[in-house]
A and B are shown apart, each in its own frame.
Chain A
Amino acid sequence: MNLLRRVWHLFVDSAWLAGAALAWVAACAACLKAGLGGGTASEMLLAGLGAALAVSVHAAARRR
Protein backbone atom coordinates (compact mmCIF):
# COMPACT_ATOMS: atom_id res chain seq x y z
CA MET A 1 0.00 0.00 0.00
CA ASN A 2 2.85 2.34 0.85
CA LEU A 3 4.45 1.76 -2.56
CA LEU A 4 1.12 2.44 -4.30
CA ARG A 5 0.69 5.63 -2.30
CA ARG A 6 4.23 6.66 -3.17
CA VAL A 7 3.64 6.07 -6.90
CA TRP A 8 0.32 7.99 -6.72
CA HIS A 9 2.02 10.97 -5.05
CA LEU A 10 4.83 10.84 -7.61
CA PHE A 11 2.35 12.09 -10.20
CA VAL A 12 -0.54 13.55 -8.26
CA ASP A 13 -0.31 16.32 -5.70
CA SER A 14 -3.79 17.58 -6.46
CA ALA A 15 -6.29 15.01 -7.76
CA TRP A 16 -8.37 17.88 -9.15
CA LEU A 17 -5.46 19.26 -11.24
CA ALA A 18 -4.50 15.80 -12.54
CA GLY A 19 -8.15 15.06 -13.39
CA ALA A 20 -8.67 18.41 -15.10
CA ALA A 21 -5.45 18.02 -17.12
CA LEU A 22 -6.40 14.51 -18.28
CA ALA A 23 -9.98 15.60 -19.08
CA TRP A 24 -8.65 18.53 -21.12
CA VAL A 25 -6.28 16.28 -23.06
CA ALA A 26 -9.23 13.97 -23.79
CA ALA A 27 -11.29 16.97 -24.95
CA CYS A 28 -8.48 18.06 -27.30
CA ALA A 29 -8.25 14.52 -28.71
CA ALA A 30 -12.02 14.50 -29.32
CA CYS A 31 -11.89 17.92 -31.04
CA LEU A 32 -9.03 16.74 -33.28
CA LYS A 33 -11.05 13.67 -34.23
CA ALA A 34 -14.02 15.90 -35.00
CA GLY A 35 -11.92 17.90 -37.48
CA LEU A 36 -10.29 20.69 -35.45
CA GLY A 37 -7.06 21.96 -37.06
CA GLY A 38 -3.75 20.72 -35.60
CA GLY A 39 -2.49 24.27 -34.93
CA THR A 40 -5.67 25.30 -33.11
CA ALA A 41 -5.58 22.06 -31.09
CA SER A 42 -2.06 22.79 -29.83
CA GLU A 43 -3.14 26.28 -28.70
CA MET A 44 -6.25 24.80 -27.08
CA LEU A 45 -4.14 22.22 -25.24
CA LEU A 46 -1.68 24.79 -23.86
CA ALA A 47 -4.36 27.31 -22.87
CA GLY A 48 -6.53 24.71 -21.13
CA LEU A 49 -3.67 23.19 -19.16
CA GLY A 50 -2.53 26.66 -18.09
CA ALA A 51 -6.07 27.52 -16.95
CA ALA A 52 -6.28 24.25 -14.97
CA LEU A 53 -3.02 25.05 -13.16
CA ALA A 54 -4.17 28.62 -12.40
CA VAL A 55 -7.51 27.43 -10.96
CA SER A 56 -5.79 24.74 -8.89
CA VAL A 57 -3.18 27.15 -7.46
CA HIS A 58 -5.77 29.80 -6.55
CA ALA A 59 -8.09 27.20 -5.00
CA ALA A 60 -5.22 25.87 -2.85
CA ALA A 61 -4.26 29.42 -1.83
CA ARG A 62 -7.86 30.17 -0.78
CA ARG A 63 -8.11 26.98 1.27
CA ARG A 64 -4.91 27.56 3.30
Chain B
Amino acid sequence: MGTHQLSAAAAAALASFVEFVEALTVILALGASRGWVSPLAGAAAAAATLAAAAAAFGPALQHAQLAWLRLVVGLLILLFGLRWLRKSILRAAGIIPLHDEAAAFARTRASLAGLPAARRWDWTGFAGAYQVTALEGSEVAFIVVAVGAGGAGLLPAAAGAATALAAVVALGLLLHRPLARIPENTLKCLVGILLTALGTFWTGEALGAEWPAADWSLPAISLAWGALTLLLVRSVRHRRAAR
Protein backbone atom coordinates (compact mmCIF):
# COMPACT_ATOMS: atom_id res chain seq x y z
CA MET B 1 0.00 0.00 0.00
CA GLY B 2 1.46 3.37 -1.06
CA THR B 3 1.41 6.70 0.75
CA HIS B 4 -1.73 7.80 -1.17
CA GLN B 5 -3.65 4.68 -0.18
CA LEU B 6 -2.52 4.88 3.45
CA SER B 7 -3.50 8.54 3.74
CA ALA B 8 -6.84 7.89 2.02
CA ALA B 9 -7.65 4.90 4.25
CA ALA B 10 -6.66 6.83 7.40
CA ALA B 11 -8.65 9.94 6.41
CA ALA B 12 -11.74 7.86 5.55
CA ALA B 13 -11.48 5.76 8.74
CA LEU B 14 -11.00 8.74 11.08
CA ALA B 15 -13.69 10.86 9.38
CA SER B 16 -16.12 7.94 9.42
CA PHE B 17 -15.43 7.24 13.07
CA VAL B 18 -16.15 10.83 14.09
CA GLU B 19 -19.26 11.16 11.92
CA PHE B 20 -20.70 7.80 13.00
CA VAL B 21 -20.07 8.61 16.69
CA GLU B 22 -22.24 11.73 16.20
CA ALA B 23 -24.94 9.68 14.45
CA LEU B 24 -24.76 7.01 17.18
CA THR B 25 -25.61 9.62 19.85
CA VAL B 26 -28.90 10.52 18.12
CA ILE B 27 -29.74 6.87 17.35
CA LEU B 28 -29.17 5.94 21.00
CA ALA B 29 -31.40 8.79 22.14
CA LEU B 30 -34.12 7.71 19.68
CA GLY B 31 -33.80 4.05 20.68
CA ALA B 32 -33.88 4.76 24.42
CA SER B 33 -36.94 7.03 24.01
CA ARG B 34 -38.99 5.28 21.31
CA GLY B 35 -37.81 1.65 21.07
CA TRP B 36 -34.98 0.17 19.04
CA VAL B 37 -36.49 -1.46 15.94
CA SER B 38 -37.39 1.66 13.93
CA PRO B 39 -34.22 3.73 14.64
CA LEU B 40 -31.99 0.74 13.81
CA ALA B 41 -33.94 0.13 10.59
CA GLY B 42 -33.63 3.84 9.70
CA ALA B 43 -29.87 3.82 10.29
CA ALA B 44 -29.44 0.64 8.24
CA ALA B 45 -31.53 2.08 5.38
CA ALA B 46 -29.45 5.28 5.33
CA ALA B 47 -26.17 3.31 5.42
CA ALA B 48 -27.42 1.20 2.47
CA THR B 49 -28.41 4.38 0.54
CA LEU B 50 -24.96 5.91 1.08
CA ALA B 51 -23.16 2.67 0.17
CA ALA B 52 -25.23 2.42 -3.03
CA ALA B 53 -24.42 6.05 -3.93
CA ALA B 54 -20.69 5.48 -3.31
CA ALA B 55 -20.77 2.24 -5.33
CA ALA B 56 -22.58 4.00 -8.20
CA PHE B 57 -20.40 7.12 -8.45
CA GLY B 58 -17.06 5.81 -7.15
CA PRO B 59 -16.02 3.39 -9.91
CA ALA B 60 -17.33 5.72 -12.65
CA LEU B 61 -15.20 8.61 -11.40
CA GLN B 62 -12.22 6.37 -10.69
CA HIS B 63 -11.96 5.32 -14.34
CA ALA B 64 -12.20 8.83 -15.71
CA GLN B 65 -8.57 9.92 -15.99
CA LEU B 66 -9.34 13.39 -17.35
CA ALA B 67 -7.00 16.12 -16.11
CA TRP B 68 -9.82 18.57 -15.37
CA LEU B 69 -11.65 15.93 -13.31
CA ARG B 70 -8.53 15.35 -11.20
CA LEU B 71 -8.26 19.11 -10.68
CA VAL B 72 -11.93 19.38 -9.64
CA VAL B 73 -11.58 16.43 -7.23
CA GLY B 74 -8.32 17.87 -5.81
CA LEU B 75 -9.95 21.27 -5.28
CA LEU B 76 -13.04 19.76 -3.62
CA ILE B 77 -10.90 17.70 -1.22
CA LEU B 78 -8.77 20.77 -0.53
CA LEU B 79 -11.80 22.95 0.32
CA PHE B 80 -13.33 20.11 2.33
CA GLY B 81 -10.10 19.57 4.30
CA LEU B 82 -9.54 23.29 4.92
CA ARG B 83 -13.07 23.54 6.32
CA TRP B 84 -12.45 20.67 8.78
CA LEU B 85 -9.04 22.05 9.71
CA ARG B 86 -10.19 25.65 10.31
CA LYS B 87 -13.07 24.52 12.51
CA SER B 88 -10.93 22.15 14.60
CA ILE B 89 -8.23 24.83 15.08
CA LEU B 90 -10.89 27.29 16.32
CA ARG B 91 -12.29 24.57 18.63
CA ALA B 92 -8.85 23.61 19.98
CA ALA B 93 -8.05 27.27 20.63
CA GLY B 94 -11.31 27.73 22.58
CA ILE B 95 -12.91 30.12 20.06
CA ILE B 96 -15.88 27.85 19.33
CA PRO B 97 -17.19 25.22 21.78
CA LEU B 98 -16.17 21.57 21.55
CA HIS B 99 -18.81 19.05 20.48
CA ASP B 100 -20.25 17.35 23.58
CA GLU B 101 -21.88 13.96 22.86
CA ALA B 102 -23.44 13.68 26.35
CA ALA B 103 -25.10 17.10 25.93
CA ALA B 104 -26.27 16.20 22.40
CA PHE B 105 -27.79 12.96 23.79
CA ALA B 106 -29.62 14.86 26.54
CA ARG B 107 -30.85 17.51 24.06
CA THR B 108 -32.22 14.90 21.65
CA ARG B 109 -33.98 12.99 24.44
CA ALA B 110 -35.53 16.20 25.76
CA SER B 111 -36.78 17.13 22.27
CA LEU B 112 -38.46 13.70 21.97
CA ALA B 113 -40.14 13.88 25.38
CA GLY B 114 -43.21 15.86 24.22
CA LEU B 115 -44.05 13.53 21.32
CA PRO B 116 -46.89 10.94 21.50
CA ALA B 117 -45.85 7.46 22.70
CA ALA B 118 -44.31 5.18 20.08
CA ARG B 119 -46.12 2.15 18.61
CA ARG B 120 -44.43 -1.04 17.43
CA TRP B 121 -43.35 0.61 14.18
CA ASP B 122 -42.37 4.22 14.80
CA TRP B 123 -41.89 6.55 11.82
CA THR B 124 -40.39 9.26 14.03
CA GLY B 125 -37.63 6.88 15.13
CA PHE B 126 -37.09 5.60 11.58
CA ALA B 127 -37.01 9.06 9.98
CA GLY B 128 -34.83 10.57 12.73
CA ALA B 129 -32.24 7.79 12.47
CA TYR B 130 -32.36 7.83 8.65
CA GLN B 131 -31.84 11.59 8.53
CA VAL B 132 -28.95 11.75 10.99
CA THR B 133 -27.14 8.75 9.46
CA ALA B 134 -27.59 10.13 5.94
CA LEU B 135 -26.44 13.63 6.97
CA GLU B 136 -23.38 12.51 8.94
CA GLY B 137 -22.60 9.77 6.45
CA SER B 138 -22.77 12.07 3.40
CA GLU B 139 -19.35 13.51 4.30
CA VAL B 140 -17.97 9.97 4.60
CA ALA B 141 -19.46 9.00 1.22
CA PHE B 142 -17.92 12.12 -0.34
CA ILE B 143 -14.48 11.32 1.13
CA VAL B 144 -14.63 7.71 -0.08
CA VAL B 145 -15.73 8.67 -3.60
CA ALA B 146 -13.41 11.67 -3.92
CA VAL B 147 -10.21 10.03 -2.68
CA GLY B 148 -11.06 7.07 -4.91
CA ALA B 149 -11.36 9.41 -7.89
CA GLY B 150 -8.31 11.43 -6.84
CA GLY B 151 -5.93 8.54 -7.36
CA ALA B 152 -5.82 6.52 -4.13
CA GLY B 153 -8.37 3.94 -5.30
CA LEU B 154 -11.84 3.30 -3.93
CA LEU B 155 -10.95 0.17 -1.98
CA PRO B 156 -8.60 1.60 0.73
CA ALA B 157 -11.02 4.46 1.51
CA ALA B 158 -14.07 2.16 1.55
CA ALA B 159 -12.20 -0.33 3.77
CA GLY B 160 -11.26 2.48 6.19
CA ALA B 161 -14.87 3.70 6.37
CA ALA B 162 -16.24 0.17 6.82
CA THR B 163 -13.76 -0.56 9.65
CA ALA B 164 -14.77 2.65 11.45
CA LEU B 165 -18.48 1.83 11.03
CA ALA B 166 -17.93 -1.65 12.49
CA ALA B 167 -15.99 -0.17 15.43
CA VAL B 168 -18.72 2.40 16.23
CA VAL B 169 -21.51 -0.21 15.94
CA ALA B 170 -19.56 -2.58 18.23
CA LEU B 171 -18.93 0.18 20.80
CA GLY B 172 -22.60 1.24 20.65
CA LEU B 173 -23.81 -2.33 21.22
CA LEU B 174 -21.32 -2.81 24.03
CA LEU B 175 -21.76 0.45 25.92
CA HIS B 176 -25.36 1.53 25.12
CA ARG B 177 -24.46 5.16 25.80
CA PRO B 178 -22.94 8.09 23.88
CA LEU B 179 -19.19 7.86 23.27
CA ALA B 180 -18.48 11.06 25.19
CA ARG B 181 -14.83 10.27 25.91
CA ILE B 182 -13.75 10.00 22.29
CA PRO B 183 -11.32 12.89 21.52
CA GLU B 184 -13.52 14.05 18.64
CA ASN B 185 -11.74 17.33 17.99
CA THR B 186 -8.30 15.70 17.81
CA LEU B 187 -9.68 13.16 15.32
CA LYS B 188 -11.35 15.93 13.29
CA CYS B 189 -8.07 17.83 13.27
CA LEU B 190 -6.21 14.75 11.94
CA VAL B 191 -8.85 14.27 9.23
CA GLY B 192 -8.52 17.95 8.27
CA ILE B 193 -4.72 17.63 8.03
CA LEU B 194 -4.87 14.44 5.92
CA LEU B 195 -7.57 15.74 3.56
CA THR B 196 -5.90 19.13 3.14
CA ALA B 197 -2.57 17.40 2.39
CA LEU B 198 -4.22 15.09 -0.18
CA GLY B 199 -6.07 18.05 -1.72
CA THR B 200 -2.88 20.14 -1.91
CA PHE B 201 -0.92 17.28 -3.47
CA TRP B 202 -3.54 16.34 -6.08
CA THR B 203 -4.35 19.97 -6.97
CA GLY B 204 -0.62 20.65 -7.47
CA GLU B 205 -0.22 17.54 -9.62
CA ALA B 206 -3.27 18.42 -11.73
CA LEU B 207 -1.87 21.93 -12.33
CA GLY B 208 1.50 20.54 -13.41
CA ALA B 209 3.50 21.49 -10.30
CA GLU B 210 6.27 19.06 -9.31
CA TRP B 211 6.54 17.74 -5.78
CA PRO B 212 10.23 17.21 -4.82
CA ALA B 213 9.96 13.55 -3.73
CA ALA B 214 6.94 12.62 -5.91
CA ASP B 215 4.51 10.44 -3.88
CA TRP B 216 6.78 10.59 -0.82
CA SER B 217 6.08 14.32 -0.59
CA LEU B 218 2.64 13.49 0.81
CA PRO B 219 3.89 12.67 4.36
CA ALA B 220 6.00 15.84 4.31
CA ILE B 221 2.99 17.95 3.18
CA SER B 222 0.90 16.35 5.97
CA LEU B 223 3.63 17.23 8.49
CA ALA B 224 3.74 20.81 7.20
CA TRP B 225 -0.04 21.19 7.62
CA GLY B 226 0.21 19.54 11.06
CA ALA B 227 2.94 21.95 12.16
CA LEU B 228 0.94 24.94 10.91
CA THR B 229 -2.13 23.66 12.79
CA LEU B 230 -0.20 23.43 16.08
CA LEU B 231 1.31 26.86 15.49
CA LEU B 232 -2.09 28.43 14.79
CA VAL B 233 -3.73 26.84 17.86
CA ARG B 234 -0.89 28.15 20.06
CA SER B 235 -0.83 31.62 18.54
CA VAL B 236 -4.63 32.08 18.78
CA ARG B 237 -4.60 30.85 22.41
CA HIS B 238 -1.71 33.20 23.18
CA ARG B 239 -3.47 36.21 21.62
CA ARG B 240 -6.67 35.34 23.47
CA ALA B 241 -4.84 35.13 26.79
CA ALA B 242 -3.08 38.44 26.15
CA ARG B 243 -6.40 40.29 25.60
Taking Cβ atoms with an 8 Å cutoff, the residues of A that contact B are 6, 10-14, 17-18, 21-22, 25, 28-29, 32, 37-39, 41-42, 45-46, 49-50, 52-54, 56-58, 60-61, 64
Give the Cβ gap from A53 to chain B, nearest Cβ, in Å.
6
Q: A22-B75, A25-B75 are in contact. Are A64 and B96 (CB under 8 A)?
A: yes
Give 13 new A-B contacts, CB below 8 A, not counting A18-B82, A41-B207, A58-B235. Answer: A6-B135, A12-B79, A18-B79, A25-B207, A28-B209, A37-B210, A38-B210, A39-B210, A41-B204, A41-B208, A45-B207, A53-B82, A57-B89
- The answer to whether A10 and B80 have CB atoms under 8 Å apart is yes
Could you name 29 residue pairs across A and B whose Cβ atoms are closer than 8 Å?
A: A6-B138, A10-B80, A10-B138, A11-B83, A13-B86, A17-B83, A18-B79, A22-B79, A28-B204, A32-B208, A32-B209, A37-B210, A38-B208, A39-B209, A39-B210, A39-B212, A42-B210, A42-B211, A42-B212, A45-B204, A46-B224, A49-B196, A50-B225, A50-B228, A54-B228, A54-B232, A57-B89, A57-B232, A58-B236
Q: Is the interface of A mostly helix, strand, loop or mixed?
A: helix
- The answer to whether A29 and B207 have CB atoms under 8 Å apart is yes
Q: Is the interface of B mostly helix, strand, loop or mixed?
A: helix
Which listed residue, B76, B90, B221, B232, touches A46 by the CB 8 Å rule?
Answer: B221
A52 cross-chain contacts in B, Cβ below 8 A: 82
Taking Cβ atoms with an 8 Å cutoff, the residues of B that contact A are 75-76, 78-80, 82-83, 85-87, 89-90, 93, 95-96, 135, 138-139, 142, 196, 200, 203-204, 207-212, 217, 221, 224-225, 228, 232, 235-236, 239-240
Q: A53-B82, A61-B236 are in contact. Are A42 and B76 (CB under 8 A)?
A: no
B212 cross-chain contacts in A, Cβ below 8 A: 39, 42
Measured in the bound complex, the distance between the Cα atoms of B75 and A45 in whole Å is 12
Measured in the bound complex, the distance between the Cα atoms of B217 and A38 in whole Å is 14
B79 cross-chain contacts in A, Cβ below 8 A: 11-12, 18, 21-22
A38 cross-chain contacts in B, Cβ below 8 A: 208-210
Which listed residue, B85, B95, B209, B210, touches A53 by the CB 8 Å rule?
Answer: B85
Q: A50-B225, A54-B228 are in contact. Are A61 and B240 (CB under 8 A)?
A: yes
Q: A10-B80, A53-B232 are in contact. Are A60 and B209 (CB under 8 A)?
A: no
Which listed residue, A12, A13, A42, touches B204 by the CB 8 Å rule?
Answer: A42
Measured in the bound complex, the distance between the Cα atoms of B124 and A42 in whole Å is 51
CB nearest to B76 among chain A residues: A11
Which of B85, B86, B139 has the most A CB atoms < 10 Å from its CB? Answer: B86
CB nearest to A51 among chain B residues: B228
